[in-house]
Amino acid sequence: MECFDHAGQSAVGLCKVCARGVCRACAVTVTNGLSCSEEHRELAEQLARTQIVAARNAGFYRMQRWIQPICGIAMAAMGGIVLVMDESDILGLVLFTSGIAIVGLALVGVLRKR
């Protein structure tokens, strides 16, 4: 690929904003990439920032996958304790069965995503 501005110069990369090829002389270094000009540098930095935020959110969602089963286990354990003390306690039964159901559903979700 050639530089968009200098015919015959081979491009060292693509502008993050307009995806045109840029040579070593044109390239403006930005976070995680290049831009073709000073005008696109600011936009490219904004793009890089949103990409970094998106990557962080992806990590958060991966972690969130495990929060649901942990909550389910905690609920089932609490219900279990209540049932041990009074096996006719309806609240204990509800906590225990919904805890088990949450763990089950969460595990199905985790296994399906793999």
Q: Report the interhelical angle of 38-85 vs 90-113 (nearest 10°).
A: 140
Q: Is 45 in the site for Zn ion (CB under 5 A)?
A: no
How far is CA 105 from each of CA 12, 59, 95, rounded to the nearest angstrom?
A: 49, 21, 15
Q: Smaller CB distance to Zn ion: residue 5 or 89?
A: 5
Kindly compute the dihedral angle of the four CA atoms of residues 76, 82, 87, 89, in this order, to the nearest 10 degrees. -100
Q: Smaller CB distance to Zn ion: residue 26 or 106?
A: 26
Q: Is 18 in the site for Zn ion (CB under 5 A)?
A: yes
Among 30, 34, 40, 103, binds Zn ion (CB under 5 A): 40
Among 14, 26, 76, 103, binds Zn ion (CB under 5 A): 26
Q: Is 23 in the site for Zn ion (CB under 5 A)?
A: yes
**Residue carrying structure tokens 């959110």:** 57
**Binding-site ranges for Zn ion (CB under 5 A):** 3, 5-6, 15, 17-18, 23, 26, 36, 40
